[in-house]
A and B are shown apart, each in its own frame.
Chain A
């Protein structure tokens, strides 16, 4: 039934996506909500929250302010926070309740900026869209507001920007570091990862980069904007697997001429797997990259990607599937005779009961939150091949093992 979720939890919402991008940027981030939305982000969508000290707050919205449209209270609270905490910018984000009131965040941001003297970003999030949309909006806002091609050249300009990396999609910070290692192996030294270890000032000279590397759907819009405005080419994908990572490094070495990573179908027959048909459920760029690994390292040609999240048509193969509702998962896994499925452990409960194939657990924080975010999977580079090889052989991936087990 449309809208009914019996097995899956809701995905991380749009405001969590915005917060994930801004978490390390050094600003004051305010979710205009009554408290629950902020608690949802800090407790369940942000693995860095426990060890970090990012200034993410709830506005503490109450009924009277909502009904009467009393925004002065919010402005007063923000002003006090700015005085108490020295930060570089402010971001104001929406949640479901103020959406009903039709809160004008852009107007609020202009007033806040005027009163505090700090650049203020406005995000019209409403908790109904998903995190990927929030992340995409946040990356774009950073590009449009903070890139300055006329900034002093004394600032260090990056050679390559990585856009789209947040824990919601990439998992542990260790994997993001391994992506950097892959890029360094390709010969780059000055690498800027938007949202991870970068502050707002680091975005200023992003337009001087030779290449943008897009590691999730949420970075695509920004990459295309920067390609059009600053003529920076982009590559889409994550180096997962042995051969795929080498190919990936070749591509980024030849920066400039490549607009997007083609769907690689080179296979190595010596490693040919006995598995013929695979479904990957998850974020599109991550799933495409796993597909590349399965094709190049294991010779599996029939690999479909399915996602409840936004899918870009250019990155989509003919048989890839956009899942509109939970029931769709049961339908496609009943019809397509997959021999193996790769996805977050929580998807297992929503599969067709007739599915008897293997299931490789690949947690996605945007779905399963902290249930698995401490499960440290080494999937970047050669580690990706080793991981999938081991999982394909592991008895725990077989139907007899995973079926019917409690989450």
Chain B
């Protein structure tokens, strides 16, 4: 061990240091990248568009992880690379090659793609390359819907950071619809809400039969039909830009109601959805049912300690609060940022669980974290599983989308499964196809 690994007592999270920077946010540090960090990545998100292909225009370095994840997760056949050379950077020739590459891709892919996403990277931002003109020309010449996205992490502090702008790009395929069918779109998340969630039944009983999600669309027409819905429910902050765009262009109002795991938080979310959708949502029965099931899982799991990470399908602070309320001990949280949504839950934890330590995932001292020998029974999140070596791990990735009261049961079931049938953490990391 070379020195102390950086961490904060939860009571100091939210404070600023002497330089005025948030203590938790390591903007002024080198970034460590743990084996458990990452997520879906821009390419995988963009390829949610049905019947689409992506042309990724970049240096070799930028596309490699996306391509390997593509092989692993099965979307590589829809992903093509136009590699930029040093000469291209000087001459701009790579921009001329995009049209030729498009022709070759469209001729070789069967069935012929109906949508195309062209993705550029940081260097084209800095070069000021004009992709708009190129995409307009390609759309016209090849009669294909084309949208642009960027994998440009240097803009991460902008409102149009890549994780926001890629969602803007995929929903931008949806045209304005002149007809309406009172459907509801779920946006921001990458998988439809789990089938066993009461959400579908609750909305159906309120007269809302069509609940749409991009990953459930098998054709462009189905994607376009999201324009017939009347409301968007935004589940992830990264979809906010897209939701705002859809509100402006398609006239679809949205509300942000992320997945939460605390019973009162879920009740609050349904209450706000009632107001937003202007319908009565009958959820009481489901709440009672789930309370009974929670007691079963509490007995089965016992008094276990749990570390909570950030790369999960949850807010780490809300989840830590919920787990604490269910009677579990949460000694550690691993998080790099504090969103507005987290504030209420942070305050609760500061008052009720002041002994929690919060580690910043990307702080450089985390390179020595394993020497701290943090011990918990269970970790939620792959990075938490890595930092607490030996803990049984629930990845709780974005590959499935729990929601509502039954979302709690989904989580508890995964926790019990991890306790009873632990998997190799290394295999869990590799299977997840994480991309930074």
Contacts and interface: CB of A to CB of B under 8 A. Distances in A.
A122 to B, nearest CB: 17
A55 B64 contact: no
A34 B367 contact: no
Given A97-B126, A369-B68, A371-B71, A35 B121 contact: no
Interface residues of A, number: 69
Contacts, number: 215
Contact of A97 (B27, B108, B123): B123
Interface string A75-91: 01110110011110000
Contact of B2 (A4, A86, A100): A86
Contacts of B153: 33-36
B367 A73 contact: no
A35 B156 contact: yes
Interface stretch (B188-196, B338-346, B426-434): B426-434
Interface centre among B30, B37, B435 (most CB of A within 10 A): B30
A131 to B, nearest CB: 9
B31 A35 contact: yes
Contact of B435 (A43, A54, A84): A43
A204 interface: no
B59 A128 contact: yes
Given A57-B32, A368-B68, A38 B436 contact: yes
B125 interface: yes
B156 A37 contact: no
Interface residues of B, number: 68
B64 A12 contact: yes
A153 B33 CA distance: 40
Interface centre among A14, A63, A87, A346 (most CB of B within 10 A): A63
Interface string A316-344: 00000000000000000000000000000
Nearest to B61: A127
A50 interface: yes
Interface in B77-114: 80-86, 88-89, 94, 97, 100-101, 104-105, 108
A49 B35 contact: yes
B154 A62 contact: yes
Nearest to B27: A60
Nearest to A80: B29
Contacts of A39: 33, 37-38, 65, 435-436
Interface in A37-54: 37-40, 42-45, 49-50, 53-54
B155 interface: yes
Contact of B65 (A6, A44, A61, A368): A44
Contacts of A352: none
A117 interface: no
A33 B367 CA distance: 18
Contacts of B67: 9-10
B436 A43 contact: yes
A130 B3 CA distance: 35
A80 B61 contact: no
Interface centre among A44, A73, A128 (most CB of B within 10 A): A128
Interface of B: 2-3, 6, 27-33, 35, 37-38, 58-65, 67-68, 70-72, 76, 80-86, 88-89, 94, 97, 100-101, 104-105, 108, 121-123, 125-127, 151-158, 364-365, 367-368, 370, 426, 429-430, 434-436
30 contacts: A3-B97, A3-B101, A33-B153, A34-B153, A34-B156, A36-B153, A36-B436, A38-B33, A39-B37, A40-B62, A40-B65, A40-B436, A50-B35, A57-B32, A57-B367, A58-B33, A60-B31, A63-B157, A66-B122, A66-B126, A78-B30, A80-B29, A81-B30, A84-B364, A85-B2, A96-B122, A99-B89, A126-B86, A128-B61, A369-B64
Given A30-B30, A50-B35, A62-B155, 14 more contacts: A9-B68, A34-B152, A38-B31, A43-B65, A53-B367, A63-B155, A63-B158, A64-B157, A66-B126, A77-B29, A80-B29, A80-B30, A128-B59, A371-B71
